[in-house]
Structure formats: structure tokens, C-alpha cells
Structure 1
Amino acid sequence: MANQIVSDLNQLYSDYQINFDLEDCDKVLRIESNNSIDILGVGCNAEKQYKKSNNNIN
């Protein structure tokens, strides 16, 4: 599931470097960029994309 989330986010935000640290006890999602990151936009768009993807599966 983590790979799918990263893949979806990379499609939406190709300028960002996105990865999960699954070895960390908190399972950290890291988003890095040389430019500013729109935190609110990432969260909102990612949630919409996730819901859209799940609706296509069922």
C-alpha cells in the first residue's frame, strides 16, 4: 500500500521527492522539494486521489 501511495503522489506532484520511512516506528511520510511545498494542497489532493482509487477497486 505504501508503494501505491507514493506512486499516486508522485503522479500528482512530480517536482517533489516522496517516500515512506517504514523502518521508523511512526512510519514517516517524507515529502521534499527544492521549492516550497503546498502542505494543504498535498493533503487535500492526496485524499481525493486515494478515495478515487479505492472507488475504482470496489
Structure 2
Amino acid sequence: MDLLRWWRFLSGGGVAWDRASPRDARDFARWMQIAPKVSRVHWRRRTSGEGPSR
């Protein structure tokens, strides 16, 4: 997934992947640090009470 994010980041900036500079990599790493994280509910820990009971 990170490689896909890298390519999309470069594409958004209009930079070809083979022309990316260390500065682009630095900006990407910083963006990854500050970007909001998506939290997803694990399939085994449903909050609605659904699923098999043990």
C-alpha cells in the first residue's frame, strides 16, 4: 500500500516516479506522518453485537 501511496503522491505533484528527488521522498515521509489515520473495526470485534456467539 505504501508504494501505491508513493506513486499517487508523486502523481499529485506532477512528478514522474523515475524523476523523484530526495526532497520528494522527504515530503512524502512527512506527509505520511501527519496524514490522518483511518481506523477500521476488526472483523472479529464487531461493535453491533453481530457474529457468532461463543
State the TM-score, normalized to the length of structure 2: 0.46
